[in-house]
Amino acid sequence: MIELRTPAEIEAMRPAGRFVAETLATLRDETKVGTNLLDIDRRAHDMIRRAGATSCYIDYHPSFGASPFGKVICTSINDAVLHGLPHDYNLRDGDLVTLDFAVAVDGWVADSAISFVVGTPRDEDLALIQTTRLALDAAIAASVVGNRIGDVSYAVSQIAHADGYSINTDFGGHGVGREMHGDPHVPNDGKPGRGYPLRAGLVVALEPWFLQTTDKLVTDPDGWTLRSVDGSRGAHSEHTIAITDDGPIILTDRSFLGVD
């Protein structure tokens, strides 16, 4: 069921969005060559506890997960792009890191993801990350009253295709509210003018993610981490936004922190 939020409810979602933004900015600043993925998870767990927030991941057990996730943040490295389960791995120079983080504050959820490189970056990795960011910007710009889900999906796919990336539609954006995942599903490819009409009060997480040379995924033995079938790298950018009569509000915006 698709739920629309009142202006007061959207305001009540702002603390969750701000906390997610601050946490991701902090973790990105602290993540270096040599950082262990389990230390990233422990740091995020500590920040959640100090803020009195609630993790959306630790007990999460959807049909596609082998077991409850058991951690509070997704850490996807290099050819892993989604649902990366933190494990004992020290980051190496040039690793492409994706952090995906969702919590509830006072019962309201916010969800966001960032990709970045530790150490010396490859040009092709920076280009991939930039494409996901531009696609996210395009999706947000298309998220206005009067458009449809297909317009948002089409905006993402146009950016991806222009840069030569193919698109997997198994996982994409989704409704956000009292739960992390709700209706509507927002795929990263679609046809303009199709799908659910966007209305004021709709809150969604938009999340373009692309792989360099494929759109096919395989699941790690951990039952969670999704990787490219050919070993090519992936990147992922995500914001939770609220659609209003005055335009989209980015609830997980990090610009006030001086970061993108």
Q: List per-residue pLDDT tens for the chain, 260 residues long.
A: 899 999 999 999 999 999 999 999 999 999 999 999 999 999 999 999 999 999 999 999 988 888 999 999 999 999 999 999 999 999 999 999 999 999 999 999 999 999 999 999 999 999 999 999 999 999 999 999 999 999 999 999 999 999 999 999 999 999 999 999 999 999 999 999 999 999 999 999 999 999 999 999 999 999 999 999 999 999 999 999 999 999 999 999 998 777 67
Binding residues for a divalent metal cation: 100, 111, 174, 207, 238
Alpha-helix runs per DSSP H in 52-190: 123-141, 149-162
Q: Give the C-alpha separation, 181 to 219, whole Å.
A: 20
pTM for this one?
Answer: 0.97
- pLDDT score recorded for residue 66: 84
- pLDDT score recorded for residue 256: 76
Q: Could you say which architecture CATH assigns to the domain 7-254?
A: Alpha-Beta Complex (3.90)
Q: Give the C-alpha separation, 223 to 84, whole Å.
A: 10
Tokens matching residue 101: 């983080």
Q: Give the C-alpha separation, 81 to 157, whole Å.
A: 17
Q: Give the C-alpha separation, 175 to 155, whole Å.
A: 18
CB within 8 Å of 185: residues ≥ 6 apart? 172, 173, 174
CB within 8 Å of 136: residues ≥ 6 apart? 156, 206, 207, 208, 237, 238, 239
- pLDDT score recorded for residue 64: 84
- pLDDT score recorded for residue 259: 66
Binding residues for substrate: 83, 181
Q: Looking only at Cα atoms, what is the longest distance across the chain?
A: 48
Binding residues: 83, 100, 111, 174, 181, 207, 238
Contact 54, 48 (CB under 8 A): yes
Q: Give the C-alpha separation, 243 to 203, whole Å.
A: 6
Q: Is 193 exposed, middle or buried (0-12, 13-18, 19+ CB in 10 A)?
A: exposed
